[in-house]
Chain A
Amino acid sequence: MKITDTSRLEEIARRVRFDIIKMTYHAGSGHPGGSLSIADILTALYFNALNHDPKNPEWNDRDRVILSKGHACPALYAVLAEAGYFPREELWTLRKFGSRLQGHPAVDKGLPGIEISTGSLGQGLSIAVGTALAGKKLDDANWNVYAILGDGEIEEGQVWEAFMAAGHYHLDNLIAIIDNNDLQIDGFVCDVMNIHPIPDKLKAFNWQVFVVDGHSIPEIIDVVEEAKKVRGTPKAIIAKTVKGKGISYMENVADWHGKAPNRELALKAVAELGFPESALDNDI
């Protein structure tokens, strides 16, 4: 499914944001901040850039997406449901006992569209490197691998092992998207453990680096298309984002990394997103 109309894509992203609020509100916990910051990125991927088939999640020629920042799974779940991987009503089971929508993505629960379990930060890019290596060197495959990382996440040493390996093996079927919202649980990334300058570091690791406004869906689509064309090196897209994007009181506030809104704030968020109050409790 390839939607090119920007207003339709933005409408999907608005619904995804609403779903993130509704899911975390009814779960009573979760990670809205980092989910909202990747809502536009995931919308651009799943409704335009990716080759995938929601009716056949294990299609061999699919593009693989590894959500390395697993705590942002509400955004991924919402996008997968919107794309038709599973019924939308299931979203409201997030974090509940027996749900396929675990607090962090769990492949063993059988939720269609989840490639592998993540949540312990720093591990997803290595997985993506292995998959891309198999695709490029062994299968001559035409699919790409996308890894979505947080900016705080790249404080993990394993990520740099993976950056090094991807450069070493010239994995041009690998695109890493770094959600650069500048915040982590303890505060500003540059204060907790400064990771900058990211582009210079990645260039030194033999990556091609792109920087994009992570909330402009057309720009994200364009940069992914451009990145796909580059041969001979892995590609990193540094998406400049706002943690909590779209909800006034959550934007750029580290405290909204890992807590759910209460009813009053959830209703305020619903209104800000242009949905009626009643939508918060529909189908629950």
Chain B
Amino acid sequence: MNIYEKHGWAMVPSRNGFGEALRELAERHPELVVIGADLTDSTRASYFSENFPERFFNAGIAEQNAAGMAAGMSLAGKIAVFSTYGVFAAGRAYDQIRTTICYSNANVKIGGAHGGISVGPDGATHQALEEIATMRVLPRMTLFTPADAEETRKATIAAVEEIKGPVYIRFGRAPVPSITDRDTSFEVGRARLVRDGDDLTIIACGSMVAESILAAEILESENIFARVIDLHTVKPIDRETIEKCARETGAILTAEEHQIAGGMGSAVAEVVVATHPVPMDFVGVNDRFGESGEPAELLKAFGLDYRSIAEKAKNLIKRKTV
């Protein structure tokens, strides 16, 4: 039994929540279509395609065309979900997302699977570590980085039902701790308080939320009380909550399975320096590519596990001025 299971958390890949949401949404929205790019099982778009084959279209291994097709569907009044791995969606089809989807404000939802280093053995080519940076700079884009399968389900539903325009939903491959349940709130653009504390705030997204909870437990045993925030919406970012955390806890550590440069932590820093500057530090991938390995060993090797987060937190609070 690993530390997550000891905690009572079931291990479920967040991509499952994406698939479940598509299946659920398909019942309510006859105008919903899904466009895949040959990774139907892997992205869990299969939950949709198996039940609604007439509304699923495979573009083949051709992401640029797939992105354009999704936008084209919107000219016929459809809501199109385009799903593939994050490296191919946000990377290969970047200009298509920028010009055809965002500039046109097309009602397209992008399911970015395989976000983060925890993709594991496939290695760097398939580990998306840059798409928070590239997607958040696009005007009109909404960017979700949910923490687990259930939150991914809610984010996907919100993308279709609450937002008319482009949305990117980033989720992962490996099983992650289920830290939310059906009753947990999910409000677009509103960061979720996971655990309270006043010595520092750890703002995390994706699988790093669970790691941050574990880090906070270690810190608590050393009489350091960390607040933990689940920033499931990187854009539009919750300025109010971030400013409040800076003011109330005096230090902010961010944690993401993504390059530090330009990522969620950078987005948080942009708010902190403009509202209430406090010492900050960043847990993330530091300007290097991923590599093959098991998810847990990669998190550790890249300094993304709960112990590394706790260490950085301890060093960070030494820099607090009050």
Interface, chain A (partner B; CB < 8 A): 60, 64, 66, 106-108, 115-120, 122-135, 137-139, 141, 157-158, 161-162, 164-165, 168-169
Q: Which of A60, A108, A131, A141 contacts B73 (CB 8 A)?
A: A131
21 contacts between A and B (CB under 8 A): A60-B77, A64-B75, A115-B75, A116-B72, A116-B75, A116-B100, A116-B104, A117-B104, A119-B99, A120-B98, A127-B68, A127-B71, A127-B72, A130-B73, A130-B74, A134-B72, A134-B73, A141-B76, A162-B68, A165-B59, A169-B57
Complex CA distance for A115 and B75, rounded to whole angstroms? 7
- Is residue B103 within 8 Å, beta carbon to beta carbon, of the partner chain? yes
- In Å, the complex CA distance between A55 and B149 comes to 47
List 8 tightest A-B contacts by C-beta distance, closest first.
Answer: A130-B72, A126-B68, A130-B69, A134-B76, A161-B65, A161-B62, A127-B72, A131-B72
Contacts of A118 in B (CB 8 A): 99-100
| Bound-complex Cα distance A264 to B262 (A) | 50
Cα distance, A107 to B59, chains bound together (Å): 25
**B96/A158 in contact, CB under 8 A:** yes
Query: Which of A107, A122, A123, A139 lies in contact with B76, CB distance below 8 A?
Result: A139
Neighbouring B residues of A119 by C-beta, 8 Å: 99
The reply to whether B69 and A133 form a contact with Cβ atoms under 8 Å apart is yes
A195 CB, min distance to chain B CBs, angstroms: 18
CB-contact partner of A164 in B33, B60, B96, B105, under 8 A: B60
A165 to B59, CA, bound (A): 7
**Contact yes or no, A116 B71, CB < 8 A:** yes
Across the interface, B64 reaches (CB within 8 A) one of A128, A137, A157, namely A157
A130, B80: Cα distance in complex, Å: 10
* A162, B73: Cα distance in complex, Å: 14
Is A158 within 8 A of B65, CB to CB? Answer: yes
CA distance A108 to B55 in the complex (A): 28
Kindly state the separation between the CA atoms of A222 and B67 in the bound complex, as whole angstroms: 34
Decide: A127 and B59 in contact? CB cutoff 8 A: no
A165 and B62 contact, Cβ closer than 8 Å, known pairs A117-B99, A119-B99: yes
Tell whether, in the assembled complex, residue B57 and residue A107 are in contact, meaning their CB atoms are under 8 Å apart: no
Chain A contact surface mostly? helix
Contacts A137-B54, A138-B33 hold; do A131 and B95 have CB atoms under 8 A apart? no
Return the CB mask of B66-98 against A: 1 if under 8 Å, else 0.
111111111111101000000000000001101
CA distance A32 to B66 in the complex (A): 32
CA distance A164 to B76 in the complex (A): 21
User: Interface 1/0s, chain B 99-139, versus A by CB < 8 A?
Assistant: 11001111000000000000000000000000000000000
Q: Are A117 and B72 in contact (CB under 8 A)?
A: no
Task: Decide if A106 touches B75 in the complex (CB within 8 Å).
Answer: no
The winner among A64, A138, A139 for most chain B CB atoms within 10 A is: A138
Taking CB atoms, residues of chain B closer than 8 Å to A158 are: 62, 64-65, 68, 96
Query: Would you give the shortest CB distance from B129 to chain A, in whole angstroms?
Result: 25
CB-CB under 8 A for A107 and B62, given A64-B75, A130-B73, A133-B69: no
Interface residues of B in 260-277 (CB under 8 A from A): none
B64 touches A134 (CB 8 A): no
A126 touching B76 by the CB < 8 A rule?
A: no
Known contacts being A157-B64, A158-B68, is A138 close to B103, with CB within 8 Å?
no
Closest Cβ neighbor of A157 among chain B residues = B64
Q: Could you say which residues of chain A place their CB within 8 Å of the CB of B71?
A: 116, 126-127, 130
> In the complex, how many angstroms separate the beta carbon of A20 from the nearest chain B beta carbon?
24
A120 touches B95 (CB 8 A): yes
Known A116-B104, A117-B103; contact A127-B78, beta-carbon cutoff 8 A? no
Other contacts beyond A118-B100, A133-B69, A134-B78: 10, CB < 8 A = A120-B98, A123-B64, A127-B71, A131-B72, A134-B73, A158-B65, A164-B65, A165-B59, A165-B69, A168-B60
B95–A164 contact, CB under 8 A?
no
Provided the pairs A165-B60, A165-B65 are in contact, do residues A133 and B72 lie with their beta carbons within 8 angstroms?
A: yes
CB distance from A223 to the nearest CB of B (A): 24
> Which residues of the other chain, A, contact B76 by a CB distance below 8 angstroms?
130-131, 134-135, 138-139, 141
